[in-house]
Structure 1
Amino acid sequence: MPRLYVLGNFTIDDVIYHGSSAWWDVPGGNVLYSAAGARTWLSEVGLLARLGRDYPDAHLRTLADSGFVLGLRRVDRPNIHTWALYEAGASRFVNHIDSGGHHDMSIRQEEIDESHRRAEAYHLASMPTDIQLDLVRALKRPDNLVSLDPHVDYLHRGDAALEGILRIVDCFLPSREEARLAYGADRPEEAARSFAAAGPRAVAIKLADEGSLVYDRGAARLVYVPAIDVAVTDVTGAGDAYCGGFLAGMLLTGDPVEAALYGTVSASYTVESRGALGVAIAPAEASRSRLAALRATVSVQQH
């Protein structure tokens, strides 16, 4: 059984870059990118998700051959399809075309087989908050780790479901925009401390190409981790890959700052690739080399 599982959504993506390239019917989704990020560090990673009736079986065979254990549920709905346009400056607009919705395509806790409930770590990628809360309650144990990335479309300050989640999860991993919505202001350092005070031992706020801001509640450390400068092919899924790498790092080291370094390395491989299935599983030596170089750049504040 894998030590780590990822829960989330599969998508089929059409991606267009301003003045550059276009790719059609690319397999994607937060569950796939998060799993790829964790796979950078672990030999085997599990995926728990719903699949639409039109999701290609060929993609699943590729996953099974690449070190992923699949705990999937087919539902009689079209899969989520997205259309993404990256404008100059990396702005993105995503439209969901004729497709399933996030509620339809998010796995429910009762659909998870008992054989997948004994792992050491679970990452919940972006899904509706009420579904995430049910999953957190079902999967969290005193002896495992649970991390969560909220969904920007379901966030607002004072949300009871989010407050319940923060009391349970070990790691909270929002983007800057998600942190702003949940905290009520665009002040990442304050937001990170506030979220940690509600329960999580680690909070990492993703800052896109600026890196991430990590708060380690136990050590009262606030750490800025820069992004790694690599040749960018496609930034889709980088935040999800960061989350998967972060939880893998927590599992392997127990240190939130180290976990952020692991996540950043995972994200760097994702932006170099096209599509989640194109993410290269880098040799361990190369990953360790990036990790060591990145570690030398972090700055720590004690608070």
Structure 2
Amino acid sequence: MDLTANSQISFLSLGLVVLDEIRLPGQEPLDNVLGGSGAYATLGARLFSPVPASQSLGLLLRVGGDFPESTMGTLERWDVRLFMDKESEKRSTRGLLEYQDTTFGPKTFKYTTNPLHVSVRRLETTPLITSKAFHFLESPQAITDRVPELLASRTTSSFKREPALIIWEPAPLFCKAENLTPCVQVLHKGTVDVFSPNHIELASLFGEDSTCDKAKIESLARRVLDSCTRLHPGAKMTKLPTIVIRAGEHGCLICDHDLKSTWLPPFYESGPEGGHNPRVVDPTGAGNAFLGGYAVGYLTTGDHIEAACYGTVAASFALEQVGVPVLVAGRDGETWNGERVLGRLEGYRRRVGIARNEPNVVD
């Protein structure tokens, strides 16, 4: 679909769209499963943006000549502003996801082709550059260049622009102790609004093993913010980021610049006696979907706690199957996996005791 100068874009992920091969012991491999942070973050935003608001979401695809028509059909059914660069002589970004058992628990991932990254420069002549919110999954070294490049491109763009919400999901492979200082240096610059590792990645940044202790997770999140203010004593900071820790079965933590911390429970609690909840099939992509939902939630409400409610519900739909949930559009509106998204959101908000503010579709 061509983009025009009058397009209004609310959300764009600069993450990858990946074709996954999924292997489980004793089962036939699943091939060409739609995945990647870009696809799942877009899904999270799309859940809360039914047609025609779906057209406020951008998706920039960079694919090879082997990109399946069936996968393209899935993306087209989302009815987002799809913009594609097809390089027929290359292979699409592909990955191998191997699980150690049939419960979709411990897993390994590796790319099996050279990833086709989306270039910020590619956005410059399109309305995608004017998006109200951007999602990145990057190393601290890459984000150091990518965000300033984006902001500079927005300054020189001929399209109408507003300040953007910048969400940074640190790339898991780079969440190591030697990268804690580079992460803090990025956050100190004030160009990132939301910093969101999961609890395992957060612990890894401090050189610690994964922790299931909520008090410990909260302490580490506060240390990130404290480190931002202590990096250059006396230097004036324009703003501190909001820290959002996605903690899986423990829910999520929101820690803001005033050092106020709020925990929200996961949508799906553990099963009887702490066992596995049968509704949770595969966690792949749930964290990315959380951040897409979070972005739309924040644009809608202007509140980070409310945004995390949106994110939690978005993640719940990603958990229910291998791959992406099923969209059905009918006379009475859309359902995903047979349920209405806003109905699930309102149920969750009642459960956590958050007063109802009528959710408005992002326009």
Compute the TM-score of the two structures, normalised by the length of structure 2. 0.71
Cα offset for 1:14?
Answer: 2.5
Aligned positions of 1:3-18 closer than 5 A: 3-17=10-24
Instruction: Please state if 1:99 is matched with 2:138.
Output: no
Cα offset for 1:5?
Answer: 0.9
Instruction: Please state if 1:154 is matched with 2:179.
Output: no
Aligned positions of 1:184-223 closer than 5 A: 184-185=207-208, 187-197=216-226, 198=228, 200-218=240-258, 220-223=259-262
Counterpart position of 1:301: none
Contact map agreement 2:14 2:38 (CA 8 A) in 1: yes
Cα offset for 1:200?
Answer: 4.1
Counterpart position of 1:252: 300
Segments of structure 1 that go 5 or more residues without pairing to the other structure are: 298-303
Q: Which amino acid aligns with 1:93?
A: K
* Secondary structure of 1:13 counterpart: strand
Contact map agreement 1:106 1:131 (CA 8 A) in 2: no
Percent identity of the aligned residues? 24
2: CA distance, partners of 1:156 / 1:264? 26
Q: Which amino acid aligns with 1:83?
A: L
Further displaced range: 253-262 or 223-232: 223-232
2: CA distance, partners of 1:164 / 1:30? 24
Aligned positions of 1:1-303 closer than 5 A: 1-17=8-24, 23-42=30-49, 43-44=53-54, 45-75=57-87, 76-78=89-91, 79-85=93-99, 87=101, 90-96=104-110, 98-101=112-115, 105-114=116-125, 115-124=127-136, 126-140=137-151, 143-157=163-177, 159=179, 161-166=182-187, 167=189, 168-185=191-208, 187-197=216-226, 198=228, 200-218=240-258, 220-229=259-268, 231-276=279-324, 278=326, 280=336, 282-296=339-353
Cα offset for 1:277?
Answer: 5.8
2: CA distance, partners of 1:158 / 1:30? 24
Contact map agreement 2:9 2:130 (CA 8 A) in 1: no
2: CA distance, partners of 1:127 / 1:62? 26
Contact map agreement 1:18 1:86 (CA 8 A) in 2: yes
Q: 1:89 to 1:216 in 2, by over 3 A?
A: farther
Count of aligned positions: 293
Cα offset for 1:66?
Answer: 1.4
2: CA distance, partners of 1:19 / 1:232? 21
Which one has the largest radius of gyration? 2
Compute the TM-score of the two structures, normalised by the length of structure 1. 0.84
Q: 1:17 to 1:268 in 2, by over 3 A?
A: farther
Q: C-alpha deviations, 1:164-208, integer Å up to 9, x for none? A: 432321001111122122233454212212333435431111112
Cα offset for 1:107?
Answer: 1.6
Contact map agreement 1:81 1:100 (CA 8 A) in 2: no
Cα offset for 1:97?
Answer: 5.8
1: CA distance, partners of 2:39 / 2:66? 17
Q: C-alpha deviations, 1:128-170, integer Å up to 9, x for none? A: 4433332222334772211011111123335365334323210
Q: 1:89 to 1:217 in 2, by over 3 A?
A: farther
2: CA distance, partners of 1:90 / 1:284? 25
Further displaced range: 162-171 or 173-182: 162-171
Q: 1:23 to 1:179 in 2, by over 3 A?
A: same
